[in-house]
Amino acid sequence: MKNRDVAKLTDQYVAQTYGRYPIALVRGKGARVWDADGKEYIDFLAGIAVNSLGHCHPAVVRAIQQQAKTLIHVSNLYHIPPQSELARELCRHSFADRVFFCNSGAEANEAAIKLARRYGGEHLGGKHEILTAQNSFHGRTLATLTATGQEKVRAGYDPLPAGFRQIPYNDLAAAEDAIDANKTVGIMIEPIQGEGGVHVPDDAYMKGLRDLCDRRAILLIFDEVQTGMGRTGKLFGYEHFGVAPDIMTLAKALAGGVPMGAMLAREKVAKSFGPGSHASTFGGNPLACSAALAVMRTLITGGVLRSSIKTGKYFAHALEKFKDKFPFVRGVRGKGLILGLELDIEGAKIVDECMKEGLLLNCTAYKILRFVPPLTITNKEIDRGLAILERVLARI
C-alpha cells in the first residue's frame, strides 16, 4: 500500500483522536525513516523521544527476537527473570529501592498518584492532594489529564477527579504558599517540561523543592517520562540538579520503542503498595523487559549516554546560529538532546514544510520547535536536517 491507501484506511476505521500528517512510515534505521512511497526522512522526533537508540537498533532487535522465541508473556503472578534484572539495574543507577512496571507514561503517573495517596492515608493523616505545574503534561487518563496543567487537555471531561491543583513552574515561593497543611501529600514536577514548551527550571528551584518537601514532610514526585533514559545527557534528568525525588516515573525511551512504563520509589514510600493494591496485566512482561535491559546496557556500557552529551552540544550550537539569521527566532533552550527553538511565529507550517523536504520534527506550545532525535544521531545527520530547516525558515 502507498501513503494514500494507508491514509484512506486510517480515516475510515481508526478513531479520529490524532491530527495525522499524510504519510505512512513503514521502515526505519537509526535516525532515518522511510514512508510507504519510498521517501526518506531525517527523524528529529524519534516517536516523540521514544526511539532513543534510533530505529531498529541491533541490540534491541536482537533482545526482542531472542525473547520472542523463548517466552513473550506470563502473568505477574509468577517471577519474571528479565523483570527482576531490569528492576535491579534501574535501582542500582537511581535513588530508588523498588520498581512497579506498566505500559505507558500515563499509567506510570497513575501509579505514582495512587502510591502517593496511599502513603498519605497511611502516614500523613489522610493527605491526598497533589500539586502540579502550569503547562505540565502528565498523560491522557482521567487522573493524569486532571494533573496536567493545560486546559486544552482537560476540556470536555468534567467532572474531573478531585485532589489536584496547579502552581506556576519554576516559582518556589508559589509552591510553598500553595501547600495545604491538611491536604497536600506531594508535588509532582517534570525536571524539564517537554510538551509544555521545553522549559528548564533553575537549579535553585529544584533544590528548593526538595528542601520544601522535606521541611513540610510531603513527597517530591518527578515525572521523567520524557526526560528519563538519557534524553538530557544523563540517565535521569534529576541528576542535573543534584536532588532526588521520592517517586519517579519513566516510559517513552525505557524499552526502545516497545510500550513500557515504570514507577520507581524509595522503600519508605514503596511499601505502601502491597499485594492487590495495584497491578498491570502486561506490565513488566518478558518481552518489554528484555528490550529495556538492552536499552539500559547500550546507554551505559555501550557509550551512547556519554556520546549523546557531545551530540547535544553540537545540535544546540547549530541551532543558536539561527538567532542571527532569522529575526523571528528568539532562542534555544533545553539539555542534552531535548531542545526547543522558540519562535515569535507559530510553528505548524514550518513542521509541514520540513516534512515535505524530508525532515520530521514537532511543534509544541504553538511556537516552540521541539527536537528529540535519537541519541545515536550523527553530526552529519544533524547538519542534513538543519539544512532543510534553514531553507524552510528562509522562505516562511
- Give me the active site residues, please: 137, 223, 252
How far out from the chain centre does Cα 34 lie?
24
Question: Is residue 388 within a helix (H) or strand (E), and if so which, with residue range?
Answer: helix 379-395
Positions of E strands within 44-193: 98-102, 129-133, 164-167, 184-189
Residues 6+ apart with CB under 8 A from 113: 130, 143, 144, 147, 188
Residue 352: all three cell numbers together: 509541514
Question: Is residue 142 within a helix (H) or strand (E), and if so which, with residue range?
Answer: helix 142-147
Q: Residue 130: how many CA atoms within 13 Å on its side-chain side? A: 31
User: How far apart (Å, rounded) are the C-alpha atoms in residues 4 and 292?
Assistant: 34
Residues 6+ apart with CB under 8 A from 218: 124, 127, 179, 184, 185, 186, 187
Strand 32-35 relative to strand 25-29: parallel, antiparallel, unpaired?
antiparallel
Positions of E strands within the chain: 25-29, 32-35, 40-43, 98-102, 129-133, 164-167, 184-189, 219-223, 247-250, 261-265, 329-335, 338-343, 359-360, 362-364, 368-371
Q: From residue 229, give the alpha-carbon distance in Å to each of 157, 180, 186, 241.
A: 32, 33, 24, 16
Residue 199: all three cell numbers together: 522549559
Question: Is residue 4 within a helix (H) or strand (E), and if so which, with residue range?
Answer: helix 3-13
User: How far apart (Å, rounded) are the C-alpha atoms in residues 299 and 302?
Assistant: 6
